[in-house]
Structure formats: structure tokens, C-alpha cells
Structure 1
Amino acid sequence: MLKIMRENLKNLKWILWFVVFIFVLLIFVDWGTGRLRGGSMEHVAARVAGIEISERDFLREVRQTDERLRSLYGQQYELIRSQLDLGQLALSNLINNALLVEQAKKLKLQVSDQELAERILSFPVFRKEDGSFVGEEIYARILAANQTTPEEFEAELREGLLIEKLQKVLRQGIVIPDAEVDREYRKRNENASFQLLFVTAERYFPSTQATEAEAKAYYDSHQSQFIHGEQIQLRYLLVDPVRLRQNMPVDEARVAEYYQSHLSEFQEPETVHARHILVRPEGDGEDAWRKAQERAMAVLRKAQAPGADFAALAKEFSEDPGSKESGGDLGWFERGRMVKEFEDAVFAMQPGEVKGPVRSQFGYHIILLEGKRPARQKPLSEVRDVIRFKLTEGLADAEASKRATALKEKITAGKLTTEEQWRGLADEVVSSNVTPFFSLDEGVVPGLGREPGFLEELKKAKEGFVGGPRRTPRGWVVYRVEKTRKAGQTPFAEAKDEAMEGARRLKALERLKAELAARRGEGLAKLAATYGVQVTPVKDHYRGTSIPGVGVAQVLEEAVFATPVGALTDVVVVGERGVALAQVEAKKVVTPAEVAAGREALRKSMVEDELQKLIDAMLAEAKRNQPMTLNRDLVERFKPAQG
């Protein structure tokens, strides 16, 4: 390796990885030498899935994990450190990295000696002031001073590069459409405050009857409830991190510190805003292409005429169905989004310039460049809210984990099993919920999303099992397996009671909805007194989050966001649970321009989220049914202090 670096030094690409350099100086500091003497686990932290984690590597990783978190959260780290199990976090990191390296090798991914040499020379500690390599002797001496060897150090770097390559391959396969990104942008940035009246179906359920024909109609229209594989139903308490974040401000100094140490996250590439008119050839031969070029030239002359309306010409002549109706508008885009011929032409143009015809695989393009933005470093003022959200999210996650742990202890100690007992644990942050019956093969827990580790745990859980705390895409949960049922189609004769109950519930809800709609003008306070319920104030509700006393209810929040401030929503039925009526007090909604401006940054973030889910699923599959042998004395040394 040293020979390759000497021979190729002048051609290497230098990269300043200051954060990585700091970690290099830290990872070799051992936290002690306490070892489990005797037996097969001496000097070993764990064995799992055919992988052995040494005590030395484990202690290094504990130190790294501690320093990474301290660097991320600064002074606030002390607030959450006592709640973290550093030993388990470190062990999980080591095992996961080893499994990812194996997966990369299965995909035939490799790290060349040249790539490894470039990575080594990206550390300032291994370079002289003039940028040249410090030499074999000093290189080895630096590593020896940190209790490692060139072979060990290079093996670790090679594994890191392999994982990066695996992530790049997986990332390239993730495509998130604009519509999905825009929905998520609104979900994160729009909120509303309202007064909520919620009346459950129990109001009229006992006095509502249904006929057998109505039960059969319910059975026929709710086949998913009766035709199924193995299914389960969960009762769960959700600790909502969105609510917690509102009470966890991050000071300006911490935001500025994060910005300065993560500048690369906020680099914006050169982008352009263009319109085009596409003229396609009518056939495959060169004669067809020649005629298309002639037609394109005629359009170009019109587009370059003084006072020409390019958008109108695009609507008339363009053969690109995706942009024709918008006047050929392609919006803002960076390099790598268009075919090469088009991209080379448009990035060489100046705003206001009309160019063409440019030939690509699709035909001939007439291009109008409407605007150009140079590559730049986004200033702190533009990304302050993004950074604040990210830092607050970490603090809220730790607090949610702590609260979920406390809830689990209460449930276990009190042997709480009924709906009333679980609902009694709910508050402004914690909501009590029940899922419909669902199949684990669907890969999603209704209301909670996709979390591979959670699904694997549920496959082994029996009816009545209380599990958690578990992190899910919605927040931390504690759950109970309420019911299980075997695979198959439940005949109507056997499902009659369940179908009858469903039909009765729907009739009760329709009766309640009609009554509330007729009395809607009486106001929430009077209606609440009539039905013996409370009006619940809901502050700063974000789309997709839990509504106190109701849970996740898209139909209700859509009604809220569609209603003017000060007005009452329509009466809406929330699942099969109850009906709701709300008075909107305040709303924050985003404009289409704001959505467009934030789209690409959010898309990148969502791609990274999907990448992590993909990796989690990959790791869960690799660990499935794999026995683990643990050096508990060593790992439990780093458990959080109790009390």
C-alpha cells in the first residue's frame, strides 16, 4: 500500500476530512482492560451471525460512539447520556458494519488499492505541509502511538469504503416522485390549531341493531377483515416526538456550531431553469431525422423572433407531453437530471438565450434558458431551521425513549391489560391506539409504518405479549398483542357476530354523524355538554401526527386544513371509532413556491431515510434466527445508571 502511495502521490485527489481526522485520533484510545477470564469468551465481546467482535474493537467503538454523540449534541449531551446504553449501541454498530461488508462482497463490490491510498492521504496527519506523504516510518509510528498497525488501520478504512459503495448502489435505486416529496413537505411544514369535539360510536352503539342482511353486506364490503393470512391486532401507546420537540429549544450557538462543522451538507450545485420545445422524428431513418430537424429550424426561427412568446410556441408545437401544457417549463434542475446532449447545451447558455436545434435520443430540442443559479454554499440564515429541527429531533427522540421505558414499567408492574387502563396513560404527548387486524407479511404496522426489527419481534410474539419500547417511523411505542388469528377465509357463518358488530357500529356512526350535522350550529361547548364529553384544544397539529384522544386521523386533519380560520369543519367519521367536529383557530400553510423551493433538499433527506430503511431490512434479514453469544459482564458495564 505504501508503495502505491509513493508511486501515485502526484495524481491523488486531496480531501480534507477534519471530522474523520478527529475520530482517527480518538478511536484508538482504550477505555480499560477488564476482561472475562476463562472460557471461550475471553477477549471477545460477542459472536453473532458468524461474526466475532473482539473486546478491543468493542471498547474502541464505545469510545467512538460516545465522542460522536458528544460532538453532535454539545453541552446538551449530558442531559441524555445517562439514558443511553453505550455498550449496546457500540456492539450493534460493529455487528451491523460487519454484515454490511459481507453484503457488499456478495454484490462483487471492491475497494482498489488506489482508492484506499486516496482515503489514507485524505487525513492531514499523514501529510507534510507541502501535501506529500509523511513516509513509511512516520506513518507506522503515528499508528503505533495509537496502538494499531498499518494493516489494522487499512483494513478498517477498506471496510468503511466498501460500506460507502454499498450505500451508493442502494441509493441509486431509490426514486421518490415529486408528488410524494410535496406531500411530505406539507406534512412537515403545515400545522393547525383547533378546538375538537370527538364523540365515540359507543354513544349509540348499544341501542343500535342490525339485520342479518346488513351484517352480510358489511361482511362483503370488508373482505380484508375476513380473508387473510395470519393476522394480529395491537394495542399501543405512542410517544409523539413532534409534541416533545415543541418543548426542546436549541440555542443559536449550537446551531452555528453544527453548521460550521457540517458545511458540506449545505452546498447547493449549479442549477438552471429552462423551457423547451421538442420536435420528434416521424420514423427511425435518417430521412425522418432530417425532416424533424427542418421542422425544428422553422420553430427556432419563430422562437428567436423579437417579442416571441416561447411558452405559447411550446403549447402549439412541442411534442413532449410532460411539459407541453405548461409551456415547455422544465423547472429548476441540476446536472445529472437531463440527457447529456441537452444538459451540455443548457448549462452553456445565458439567461434569455434561445438555442437549438439540439439533438438527443428523443428528438430535436429548442431551448430557452430562463434563469441560472451558480453553485454556492447556503448561508446559515437559510438552513437555520433545518439544523434546529435536526438537533431538536435527536433530543426529542431520547426523551421519547425515556418516557416509553417508564410506560412499559408501569404496564408491567400494574399488569395493565384493558383499554380503559391503557387509555388512562395517555396525555398531551402519549396517545392510546388500537390497530385493525393486519398481516405481518405486509411489512407495515398500520399507523406506525415500516420498521423491520419491530416486525421480526412481532412474528415471535404470542397473544397477550407486552413489548417495547420500540422506535418506529412515528415515534416510540409500547405495545400489547391484543388478538391473533390464523390464516384463511373466515366463512360468514363463523364471522357473523363480528360482521354484525361492524354493521351496528357503522349504523351508530351514521346516526351520530347526521345528528351532529343537524345540531352543528349550536357550537362546540353546547354540543359537548349534550354528549357528556370535553372539547379538546389541539395546538400546532402537524399533518400525519397523532391527535389527542383520536390518534392518527387523516380525514379529520384534511377537514381542518380545508376549513377557513374561525369556521367549523364538516362532521367527519373517523374510522369506525367515532365522529369529529372541529373549530379552526389558526393555520400555517405553505405556498406552491415554498414547496418548490424546498423540494430537492427534502428529496435528498427522504432518499437517505429510505436508504436507512433498506439497510435496516437487509440487516434484519441477515440476523434472522442467528444465535448470539454475549460477554455480558463486558457489555453491561456501559449500561445507563439506574434511578
Structure 2
Amino acid sequence: MLEIMRENASGWIVKILFGIIIVVFVFAFGMSGLETGQDPILATVNDQIITRAEFEDAFQRAAEGVRTANPDVTPAQLQDPQFKQMVLGELINSRLLLHEAARLGISASDEEVFAAITRQSYFWNQAGAFDRDIYMAALRSIRMTPALFEANFKNEMIAGKVQDMVRKTGVATPEQARQIFDWVGEEVRVDYILSSPAAFAPQVRVDAKEVDEFYASNQDKFMVPEQVRIRYLAFTPKDLAARQEVSDPEIDAYFAANSASMKQEEQVKASHLLIMTSDSDSDEEQAEARKKIDAAYAKAKAGGDFATLARQNSEGPSAAGGGDLGWFGRGDMVPEFEQAAFSTPKGQVSEPVRTQFGWHIIYVEDRKEARELALDEVRKDIAIAIAEEKAAERVTDLLDQAMDRLVSGMTLDAVADELGMLAVTSSPLPEQGLVQNFGLTPEAATVVMDIQKNESHKTPLSINGGYMLVEKVEDIPAAPLPIDEVRDAIEGAITQQKAAALAMTEAQEILAQLTGPDSAEAAARYAARIKTSEPFDRQGNVPALGQSQALAEAAFGSAGKEWLPQPFAMQQGIIVARLSEVIPASEETWAEQKDAWIDQASQNYQLEVLNAYMTGLRQQADIEITRPDLLN
């Protein structure tokens, strides 16, 4: 692990500033100068001990390093036994490596240690030279003496020499790297027949009994999570702005200083009609999409009502609203769409334009040209901006006043009345809703959920733009939604299940015919439905069909072009498939990336060799965990 940290010096763990010193030199090797006294022994490694104090110190420092690198990590995750076992495992590894170094006669001189320390850039001054004052300040910041730090640094160097010795035996040959490259880079195509559940959905019937049974057996899927209603005071510039007075001269001065930036950008108000298609569609599907958009364009140019055409023909999410997109400016849409929209005159329809989403025609209802705004047009916005600036200066002072009153026993409403503020009661919110609505951290949201009813939290909570004080109004237990509210969703789910089952039945029947005694006749009968996929690799992400690891394994394992022995469920439906083509890894890519693949293969081999070596040391060592309870 130490060597990995060193080799990845640009990674996140090095960015913990001087915390990295703690992780590398203390977490890995422990506090070698720690006074153990009568401290309980957590583990023994041959004749060496690891004390509880040493483990806890390493654990706390490692946890702090992880928190610094990943602020979203939760206390529960850091208290996970697996994390604690990892910390202990590194302490054990360090003992084993140092023991092995002693057996092999591997050491590091004081001169080597000093030279290596001076090469650590976090001890350099601005001139790029080792600075003893910076070095001493860094050690003081982590409460380590030079002797202790240097002893741990020396241990790391010695262990690193053992690891380097082992790694040197793991070098990949070009032939081995090529085998890996060929395996990873190989792709296949499959011929397939798709049975789409959507084709069977109109045949499906769902009765009330089925809905009731589905609801009864799947109530966990229809649960409204536990919710709370809170009463809160918000201390943000936006919420406190109403308390600030803004004069006309202040507005005039603000406008004079910022008028150059107060512009209305060019905008259009438009609607569109979309026929969806993608590059992975077959030539026939793309031709059909173009045919549809051309027909819609002809009707629009002939004077047809665009909103009606969009509702009847558009395949985009705006179809229900007649294709309405509202006002938008430059940069809001993909480039091809933007160019067509802004080049089409007001009241006219653009020619069909192709984007990554498909074919569009665009009706431009209105336009706003770019222009500078007059003072009266922005007066209200300026007043709000000035008020928020003033309020920002009052947030801390007002929060302190509120806290003094809250701690003295006043209710949140009484605090609000005395300070001239307004306490607001929220609608019912789940824990995640507290995060989304207010910008609370997940940990703070959990705190709010745990407040007792009618009690207030005595500490301000950080929210978007400032802070809030919170009082619990109501706890609302988790409960299932009434069946009438989810009936349509249940009917839809059952319909999908039944349609998928019918599609699977059809696929199984097709496969049986294609592999049965009359396979030639069946192949002729289904020839029109056979399509060929785009190339895909062993990960099984098949363009236009979806992901299936099972399909990838079967296709890459196929010895010939017979139909594979089972149907495969994909996102688009159920398919029967056969291997169509094996596409070898690119020779050109190998020539370009050969050295990188050899390096990567060597790194993989080195890691495997080192892991095997450490496993061997562990198996040969006498390791005893005397206090496993400390890892729980």
C-alpha cells in the first residue's frame, strides 16, 4: 500500500497536505516511539506486538485522512469493521516487511534517509529547496518529533526496498501483453431476432384482483418514507433581504457602476416537433424517421397548426404541450438546434435539422434581440441585489443574537418575534427532501430527523447560502400510498411483466424452430426479422439493444455460427442470437499503444507477485488477534 501511495503521488491521498505524512509514516508503521505501558495488546506478529493505543492512533489518523479526501464519508462507514481490519492489516504488513528486511539484510543508512526526506516537495521553500524551518513546522503540526518521524521514514524506506525487490520479478513480456490486449480489444457482432414486449402490450389484460394481489405483495415499493415537518428560521442574505432598506441613490449608483453588464441577451421563443433516431439505427429506420419529419414539415409549411402537429406526431417529451420550449438563449440548446432556431425568422418553421436526438422542425414564435437594459427595467433586481449584500453583512450578528435567546430557553417563535423575523413551517419532508430543499448535508438531515417533537436543535445548521435554526413540529411515520393512488402504476407494471413474458415465450418458440428439424424453413420464414448488431466487447454493452453480460459470454464462447442455446433479456426486449462476426483487436491500435500495454501488464503482474509474496509471509508468520472485539 505504501508503494502504491508513493507511485500515485498525484492522487487524492497526496493532496491531504501534511495529513499525508500522518497516513504514510504513522498509519503504515505505527507510532514506533509510542509509550505502550500497560496498554492492552491488540495483536502479535511473531515476537512483535501491536497495542490498542497504536492501532487507535493509526485508525484515527487514517480516518482523518479519508475524511479530508472525501468529505461525504459518513461516521458509520469509518466505523465499519472492514475499515478497521484494513488499518490493522497494514500494521501487520509493516511488521512482516520489516522482519523480512532484517532476515535479508536490507537496511537504509541515515544518509539515505536524510537525502530522501530532502526530496519530499512538501518540505521545500518557494525556491524549490529543502527548508528545515518548513520541515520542523510540518512536524509540529502533526505533533511528531524529528527522531520519531525519521525513524518511521526509515522503516518505510526499508519496507519499500523489500517491495521493490519482489516487484522486479514481475515483468511482462511483449507476448504476454499482446495476449491481454487481444483479449480485451476483441469484439463481436451477433445476428438477432427481437421480440419486443411493447408489441404484446395491447394484448394484455389486467383485472382488479391482480392489482390487489400485486399491491399486497409489493407494499414496500409504494411506501412514503418517514417524513417530518419543521419550523425554522433561515439566516441567509436572501431571507434577510426584506429587512434591509435600499434608497434610490443607492440603486442609481449601483446601475452606474454595473450598467455595462446589464444586458438582455438574444432569445427566441420556439416550439419543436421531434422524430427520434440515432446513429445506431438501421438504414431503414433512419429513412423512415426522415420520411416522417419531411411529412410533418410539409404540413407545417402548408399552414397546419404547429401545436396540433407536434401533439400528434412529436416523439419528444414536449409533445403534450404542443412542442413548446418557451424562451431560450444561445448556449441553452445543442449547436445544430441553436443554429436553426436563431436563423429562422419570427413566425416561420425551420427546415428539418438533425441533432443527436433525431430530426426536428422548429417553429419560432417570437424573438428578443440583444440590447442594453434601462434603469427602470432592472430597478427591482438591483434593489434585491443591494438588499442581499447588506443582509450578508448581518447574517452572523443576527444568528448570534438568535442563538443567545434560543439557548436561554426561548421558543423559536419567541426568538423570531423579538428579532422581527418570520419562522416558517415546512410541508412534510423526507430525509432526502431536507437535503434537496435546504442544502443540508446528509448527516445534518439525519440530525433533524432525530430531533424530538416540539424540541429545537441548539446548534445552527449550514444550508444553501447561510444557516438555519430548526424546531421539530411533527413526525410522520412511513406508510404505504393508498392503492387508488398507485393503481395505474401497478396496472402498468403488471402489463410490462405480462408483455415481457409473452415476448419471452415467442423468443423461445422462435429459437426452438430455428434449431429444430425444420430449421432451414424457419430461417427463411424469419429472415426479414434478422438484424445484425453493432460490434461490442466482453463487457456486453450492445448498441441499440442494451447490456447483457450473459449474451457477451455466450457470443465470445461460441465455437460457430449456430443459434445460441437460450434467449437473452435486453433493455429493448428478448432476443435470440447467433455469432455473426469476430473482430480482432486493432493492429494499428496495438502499434500505437504497445508500450503502454506492456507497462500496464507489468504493473498488474508486479501487484500479483507482491500480493502473493505478502500472502506467503502471512501464512508463515505467527499472527494472533488477541482483542478482536476492538475491531467491532
TM tier, smaller = 0.3 to 0.5
Rg larger in 1 or in 2? 2
